[in-house]
Structure 1
Amino acid sequence: MHEQAHDLRVFAPEPPLRGHLPFGEPPGAPDRIEVTSRWFERGGRPWFPITGEIHYARIPRERWSEVLGHARAGGLDSVATYVFWAVHEPEPGRFEWTGNRDLRAFIELAAAHGLDVIVRMGPWGHGEYRNGGFPDWLVERGLKTRTNDPDYLALVRALYAQIIAQLDGLTHAEGGPVVGAQVDNELYDRPDHLARLREIAEDLGLRVPFWTATGWGGAQVPDTLLPVYSAYSEGFWEDSTVEWPAFAPFHFRYSEVRDDLSVGADLREALDGIAAEAAEPLKHDDRTPFATCELGGGMHVAYHRRPLVSPEDVANLALAKIGSGSAWQGYYMYAGGTQRTGPHGTEQESHDTGYPNDVPALTYDFHAPIGEYGQIRPHHHALRRQHLWLQTEGRRIAAMASTVGGGDEGPDELRWAVRSDGRSGYLFTTTYQPPKRPIAAQPGVQFTVRFGDAEVTVPTEPIDLPAGVSVAWPLRHALTDTLELRSATAQLLTRLDDLVVLAATDGVPVEIVLGDGTLVDLPAAPGPDCLIDLDGVRLLILDDASANRLYRLPFAGRDRLVLADAPVYAQDGGLVVHTDHEEVAVAVLPAPDALEAEGAQVETAGSEGPWTRWTITAPGVGPVPLAVDQPGPATAPEPRRGGPMDRLSAPTDYSGAAQVHLAVPDLGDADRVLLRLDWTGDTGRAYIGDAFVGDHFWHGRVWDLDLSAHRDAVAVHGVRLELLPWRRSTGVWVDPSVRDVEDGITIRSATIVRIGKVMLRAVPS
């Protein structure tokens, strides 16, 4: 076996700068939030925020609680949300804050789920919203928008006054959840305007610990705003001739470089005339912590380019940023939604609004961890593993500095880094890069990390690191006051009382080494019953699949660990289970004496190691296949181009589309019912009667439609699909893994997916 011995010396980081930034709260403030040059603090201790973007105005109000519940169960401690101007001031001087426009109610509900809120208050927000969220009436006035033009600022002041009125009593200083505000978005060359926006908001009475602005693209961010960054593994905004964006590989390596010049570069070039090569990236800033707000939680699609970002892409990129020194993980999007409609139709950005890309008229699913209709995706689970770790160790990790050990843009050199406080830390290494440019397995891998007072070699004997994995191994981790975990080739997940939970990585042998050099034998293969008793502490070593089922939730009066086959979140002292299978298993540790269920039957199924397991049976839940005929002949309209970069435009002529009618059986009383279409083609529209309810640019994934709000109409009309055929010669870019499809339309299957909602409660003893 070819051996690779890697060696790195780490040092104690220098103390951070304090009191030099215009952020944070004054001494003596309750739960005081501060910003140092390297990390954030809360209540006098380092704090590692975890934030996900959720757009209240794109989600039905009745689903807010469910989405926020899953976000909290996914390990977020905060959510960010755009306040789109057009949503709230559709006519000059007439503001709307009702229904799913009710920002205040959304924030209050987030707080009820234990989540803080960052308000992205515009006035220009983008987010693929028509004209960046500017109302049509504003665009028509021809003002010098996004500048300090007095006429524009007068309108901004009125908008900000309305937003701030919604936040009255909800800021952190007032005991509420609002901890931050972002002004504008992706503004690169007008620092004076960005600074003025904060001044206006503060003049109107808003006081929050964080004031942020997007810093990517070499943006000129004034000192009064904290620059926050992005990282995407793909981009629908790239040209259809680009096989993989040049920016993407960088984000799967370890680096203290924070900036990405190419996110939104097409928009910057098209609207502002600024070429990406004219901007200078921020390599390192000793004055501000490394904060992100747009780690790609998935990826939207445009007509001309339809990326297929995988759960593995999302999770590995996020972990790479922690290894690179991130002190704030922020995801865009964390929950998908649906574009609003207005008097002129859809509110999506398009060639008609001067945007370089045509995007779907309704769906803004973004293949996020939580989908447009509440679908829980695999990356929700993969990210939760990282978030459980950050909840447990975030105070220590936030204060640790990152040192890159090895790895560059080449695919052959092992990529690794250490994040350390000078005495202990975490070893990061990765062999993951998306399939377009994969990294090979690494044989005979071994690392020696030299601290100031000791060195740690891990593993004790070289191992082969398989392709496609990323790990963060603990070094010199204190299990108790007297017992140290010297190293482990398993990842720390969480700690509950005296139980420390770690996760094995498929293909990587688990080695546990204590501080005195003792190698600990595993009593069983990694899994729910692999429990090691040590002096004053127990180690539970889960297998990879079980780790993806693990939650830590408040239940029956205390925090408990939950292993669930279906998505779960906590509410009102109980557990809400959303299942699309009639039977689901849930295990709890420590377990209550008994469980009862609303909406299902529950019975004890025995024990598995320290866990007590229950089986839940939810009648009327699960998939129902539909009979569907293959579409008849269809004719695609001639390709069109448009927008400022002359890219392919989405078809608007459906006169030659195949018409497919689906008769839908009784939807029953399931909590939610989706129509799931597995198909190939170009684009599709869905109607129930005359109502346009969904659209899809085929890109290799199924097309989901939520029928729940249309039960009566579906019973009468069924669902009508208008489908346009795939035509390779058009030049649309799709992922190589799905590219070899025949021209035309194929419907592989149509399925009704009935999703149940079960409330579990502990039976009082």
Structure 2
Amino acid sequence: MPHADHIDVALAWIGRAGRPWFPVTGEVHYARLPRERWSEVLGHARAGGLTSVATYVFWQAHEPTPGELRWDGNLDLRAFVELAGRHGLEVVVRLGPWAHGEARYGGFPDWLVESDLALRTDDPGYLALVRRFYGATIDQLAGLTHADGGPVVGAQIENELYDQPEHLATLRKIAEEAGLHLPLWTATGWGGALVPEGLLPVYSAYADGFWAEADEEWPSWSQVHFRYSPVRDDLGTGADVREALDGVVTDGGVTVDDGGAAGEVQDPGTPFITCELGGGMHVAYHRRPLVQPADVAALALAKIGSGSVWQGYYVYAGGTQRVGAHGTEQESQATGYPNDVPTLSYDFGAPVGEHGQVRPHHHLLRRQHLWLACDGEALAAMPATVGGGSDDPAELRWAVRSDGRRGYLFVTTYQPARAPLPAQPGVQLTVDLDDGPVIVPTAPVDLPAGVSVAWPLRYPLADGVVLRSATAQLVTRLDDVVVLAATEGVPVELVLDGEVAVGGPVTTRAADGATVVTLDVPPGPGTVVELPGVRVMVLDDVTADRLYRLELAGRERLALADAPVYALDGELVVHGDRPQAEVSLLPGTDVAVAGARGAARGGGWVTWEVHLPGAGTHELEVDPRPVAPAPPEPTRGGPMDRLSAPTDFSGAARVHLEVPAEALAGVDRALLRLDWTGDVGRALVGDEVVGDHFWHGPDWDVDLTPWREEVARDGLTLELLPWRRDTGVWVDLSVRDVPDGIAVRSASVVRVARAVVEVAAVSRAGRQARSTRAT
């Protein structure tokens, strides 16, 4: 008898309980995060609209010595999976054995690499070791799989293995023989990979890549991801590793080896699934991309417009490289890779940073994920049709996803700042649906530069009320409230089929058998269009970025928050670096928030102020122009002769920071934030390196929380090397024009406080919630 929540794979989508399902997954590496931060990161992931997390199982971390497997501390895979389930998240386990993930030897233990075995093949000796490692891993997952009612729904086999389908099939067989039975099995399909039957190929798309050459201003394989396209493959991801480790080179976007050329994958007869949409981008010493939040959001939306039925991000939360018996465990030229990456920082510019920093793309992506939670079931079953959008920047880029009855129109004028697209004047498109054409909008509109939209077509609002089209995007719906988000610079127009009674701050007119509605007031949380059986709230862009959907006081509610929030076990968790945070709920009249008095707002919202004692910023005194007396000369190395990261800091500038105890105590987290320019920096507590940074524009954050006592007593030392433009390191054009040397604009301690707030249902008599806890 099938599982009541049966998951299966249809030709074009993933099915769940007999219906199309649109999952959203983000990569979170448990072994690269302090265990005490797991819950926070998973909470933000769930509040960000993720339905699941994916995580590598790094062999080198779990079996540093042959036969001695570790699952303690932040290596406790079972505890991580259970905690993910508590947060309402499912899990995709990336089993390896080879992971890459910018790890030393791709995650292989040194003892394995030093063996005489043919790794990543069906070599019997290698497979015997894989059986042991897989068996131990799968033991950790006993009782946690989907069939057991647990959160583990899928597994990825290996990573970036493009030419050995038989070995991939063997690895799945070994995992199943060890007792792992799951509905979803995947393998990375980029680079023209040969993926065997029984494994779903999954794809990647990055706005830029540290693995490109230092003289490549913007890789061509990144540019294509900002256009709608049926092509799923990304022939750039990992291309340098293929060339360095396997002798496979790319030429003109096609992978070339002794067997010929692997063409671009368009429709391999499986659903369009992504597992590595760039949540940001890591940096290497020779090339340091600066991916902006809007780049991440626009690329993700372009993939939905191109037909994706599963959004997967790499990485969603940054972390810190592990340190083992052989030292730091990052990818490096010393271990055969083309690139040197930071020894510790694996921040990746992710939506949630290495130290829990919640960034703008967490909010931008959440808007998309709320929409997928609201209408993903319908969207997953809608095939994509790419209309316009070549590499000609003057051509309007558009696509449609539709099942014939209804759908979405995608239009974009967005590319990263190094190659921006122009505005598109007079945009008006006709989309043919089964019951006739829909013209969007009813009159041409100028679409500003730098926007990406997905406008609904024939969206059912309520019984007998159909939104024929809108120049605003669907975000979510709750009970009788449908939330749309306007795009700055685009007038909001709602077109309703037939003659419809409309109330609220609007003007209406009849046209072409429809009721055309325009707003008399700016979009915002109080802008509500009243329709029969439904209210349509039209938010502005800024407010839409503050919108959450959380389970509080026994039901789902909409929330607006000006600090990062999530819900856990019915309580509201607030993190912030300001002393107060404002939280509004809808519905909010039936709840009380501990320690605060609610104030009614327009649109039915009730607003509370949450206190975050101790939050704020403490400025430190710092030498603004330190001098490195003898910086090392540039060197090159690795299989592709790229610039090598310096290892000699004896001639670096040494900057000592005194940090008062009161700047570190009394809050959840204390981050040193350095606004600086230079080349490479290291932060030391005593003789221990606790953070490092390849400068490329963003501030450098170091978590001082684990070393509060030592830093308060002895201070902190920075070792800084100077920027030298003629070295040839690539940084983004927007930050490239800085003088040689070192400049420290500011150093501060950012004090992040955490409050756990009880949100309780109240009777009509106004029963109060009991407590607020600041931690």
Please give the TM-score of this superposition, normalised by the length of structure 2.
0.94
Does structure 1 conserve the Cα–Cα contact (< 8 Å) formed by 2:665 and 2:708? no
In structure 1, C-alpha distance between the alignment counterparts of 2:3 and 2:614, rounded to whole Å: 52
Aligned to 1:400: 382
Distance 1:594 1:191, change over 3 A: closer
In structure 2, C-alpha distance between the alignment counterparts of 1:626 and 1:223, rounded to whole Å: 59
Aligned to 2:641: 646
Which residue among 224, 231, 242 is the counterpart of 1:250? 224
Does structure 1 conserve the Cα–Cα contact (< 8 Å) formed by 2:480 and 2:533? yes
Deviation at 1:631, TM superposition (A): 4.2
Q: Considering only aligned residues, what root-mean-square deviation do their CA atoms show, in Å?
A: 1.1
In structure 2, C-alpha distance between the alignment counterparts of 1:166 and 1:704, rounded to whole Å: 34
Deviation at 1:518, TM superposition (A): 0.4
Aligned to 1:222: 196
- Residues 319-361 of structure 1, C-alpha deviation per residue, up to 9 Å, x if partnerless? 0000000010000000000000011210101000001000000
Please tell me whether residue 573 in structure 1 is matched to residue 570 in structure 2. Answer: yes
In structure 2, C-alpha distance between the alignment counterparts of 1:70 and 1:703, rounded to whole Å: 22
In structure 1, C-alpha distance between the alignment counterparts of 2:589 and 2:354, rounded to whole Å: 34
Does structure 2 conserve the Cα–Cα contact (< 8 Å) formed by 1:337 and 1:373? yes
Could you say what secondary structure the match of 1:609 adopts? helix
Aligned to 1:208: 182
In structure 2, C-alpha distance between the alignment counterparts of 1:59 and 1:591, rounded to whole Å: 35
Aligned to 1:659: 654
Q: Which residue type is aligned with residue 188 of structure 1?
A: Y
Could you say what secondary structure the match of 1:170 adopts? coil
Q: Which residue type is aligned with residue 647 of structure 2?
A: T
Which residue among 423, 432, 435 is the counterpart of 2:414? 432
In structure 2, C-alpha distance between the alignment counterparts of 1:539 and 1:649, rounded to whole Å: 56
Could you say what secondary structure the match of 1:602 adopts? coil
Please give the TM-score of this superposition, normalised by the length of structure 1.
0.95
Please tell me whether residue 296 in structure 1 is matched to residue 272 in structure 2. Answer: no
Deviation at 1:633, TM superposition (A): 2.2
In structure 2, C-alpha distance between the alignment counterparts of 1:368 and 1:155, rounded to whole Å: 34
Could you say what secondary structure the match of 1:518 adopts? strand
Could you say what secondary structure the match of 1:200 adopts? helix
Aligned to 2:307: 325
In structure 2, C-alpha distance between the alignment counterparts of 1:416 and 1:329, rounded to whole Å: 20
Deviation at 1:574, TM superposition (A): 1.2
Deviation at 1:602, TM superposition (A): 3.1
In structure 1, C-alpha distance between the alignment counterparts of 2:679 and 2:722, rounded to whole Å: 5
Which residue among 262, 266, 273 is the counterpart of 2:247? 273
Aligned to 2:352: 370
Please tell me whether residue 341 in structure 1 is matched to residue 346 in structure 2. Answer: no
> Which runs of structure 2 are paired with 1:369-518 in the superposition (5 Å)?
369-516=351-498, 517-518=514-515
Q: Which residue type is aligned with residue 740 of structure 2?
A: D
Deviation at 1:427, TM superposition (A): 0.2
Structure 2 gaps of 5+ residues are 499-513, 768-775
Which residue among 36, 39, 51 is the counterpart of 1:77? 51
Q: Which residue type is aligned with residue 76 of structure 1?
A: L
In structure 1, C-alpha distance between the alignment counterparts of 2:538 and 2:116, rounded to whole Å: 62
Higher relative contact order (CA 8 A, sep 6+): 1
Deviation at 1:246, TM superposition (A): 1.1
Aligned to 1:155: 129
Aligned to 1:264: 238
In structure 1, C-alpha distance between the alignment counterparts of 2:44 and 2:659, rounded to whole Å: 29
Does structure 2 conserve the Cα–Cα contact (< 8 Å) formed by 1:523 and 1:532? no
- Residues 270-308 of structure 1, C-alpha deviation per residue, up to 9 Å, x if partnerless? 101111231424432252000000000000000000000
In structure 2, C-alpha distance between the alignment counterparts of 1:621 and 1:658, rounded to whole Å: 31
Deviating more after overlay: 627-636 vs 205-214: 627-636
Deviation at 1:450, TM superposition (A): 1.1
In structure 2, C-alpha distance between the alignment counterparts of 1:73 and 1:609, rounded to whole Å: 23
Aligned to 1:119: 93
In structure 2, C-alpha distance between the alignment counterparts of 1:589 and 1:566, rounded to whole Å: 17
Please tell me whether residue 52 in structure 1 is matched to residue 6 in structure 2. Answer: no
Could you say what secondary structure the match of 1:587 adopts? strand
Which residue among 155, 159, 164 is the counterpart of 1:190? 164
In structure 2, C-alpha distance between the alignment counterparts of 1:568 and 1:191, rounded to whole Å: 44
Does structure 2 conserve the Cα–Cα contact (< 8 Å) formed by 1:325 and 1:402? yes
Q: Which residue type is aligned with residue 287 of structure 2?
A: R
Deviation at 1:609, TM superposition (A): 2.8
Percent identity for Structure 1 against Structure 2 = 66
> Which runs of structure 2 are paired with 1:551-562 in the superposition (5 Å)?
551-562=548-559
Please tell me whether residue 139 in structure 1 is matched to residue 113 in structure 2. Answer: yes
Could you say what secondary structure the match of 1:162 adopts? helix
Which residue among 594, 607, 610 is the counterpart of 1:616? 610
Could you say what secondary structure the match of 1:366 adopts? coil
Does structure 2 conserve the Cα–Cα contact (< 8 Å) formed by 1:523 and 1:531? no
Q: Which residue type is aligned with residue 451 of structure 2?
A: V
Deviation at 1:389, TM superposition (A): 0.1
In structure 2, C-alpha distance between the alignment counterparts of 1:113 and 1:28, rounded to whole Å: 26
In structure 1, C-alpha distance between the alignment counterparts of 2:756 and 2:424, rounded to whole Å: 46
- Residues 675-727 of structure 1, C-alpha deviation per residue, up to 9 Å, x if partnerless? 10000000000011222100000000100011111111111111110000000
Does structure 2 conserve the Cα–Cα contact (< 8 Å) formed by 1:484 and 1:514? yes
Please tell me whether residue 539 in structure 1 is matched to residue 501 in structure 2. Answer: no
Q: Which residue type is aligned with residue 671 of structure 2?
A: L
Deviation at 1:607, TM superposition (A): 1.8
Q: Which residue type is aligned with residue 526 of structure 1?
A: P
Does structure 2 conserve the Cα–Cα contact (< 8 Å) formed by 1:217 and 1:281? no
Q: Which residue type is aligned with residue 574 of structure 1?
A: E
- Residues 627-681 of structure 1, C-alpha deviation per residue, up to 9 Å, x if partnerless? 1122432132100111100000000111111110111122221111111000000
Structure 1 gaps of 5+ residues are 1-26
Does structure 2 conserve the Cα–Cα contact (< 8 Å) formed by 1:260 and 1:281? no
Does structure 1 conserve the Cα–Cα contact (< 8 Å) formed by 2:572 and 2:759? no
Which residue among 82, 91, 107 is the counterpart of 2:65? 91
Q: Which runs of 4+ in 1 moved over 4 A?
A: none
Deviating more after overlay: 280-289 vs 750-759: 280-289
Please tell me whether residue 235 in structure 1 is matched to residue 240 in structure 2. Answer: no
Does structure 2 conserve the Cα–Cα contact (< 8 Å) formed by 1:126 and 1:132? yes
Aligned to 2:507: none
Does structure 2 conserve the Cα–Cα contact (< 8 Å) formed by 1:592 and 1:762? no
Aligned to 1:630: 624
Aligned to 2:736: 739
Does structure 1 conserve the Cα–Cα contact (< 8 Å) formed by 2:671 and 2:702? yes
Aligned to 1:128: 102
Which residue among 673, 677, 681 is the counterpart of 1:680? 677
Aligned to 2:80: 106
- Residues 56-107 of structure 1, C-alpha deviation per residue, up to 9 Å, x if partnerless? 0000000000000000000000000000000111101000000000000000
Deviating more after overlay: 43-52 vs 583-592: 583-592
> Which runs of structure 2 are paired with 1:754-765 in the superposition (5 Å)?
754-763=751-760, 764=762, 765=767
Deviation at 1:617, TM superposition (A): 2.6
Could you say what secondary structure the match of 1:247 adopts? helix
In structure 2, C-alpha distance between the alignment counterparts of 1:633 and 1:738, rounded to whole Å: 21
Could you say what secondary structure the match of 2:758 adopts? strand
Aligned to 2:503: none
Deviation at 1:451, TM superposition (A): 1.1
In structure 1, C-alpha distance between the alignment counterparts of 2:43 and 2:138, rounded to whole Å: 25
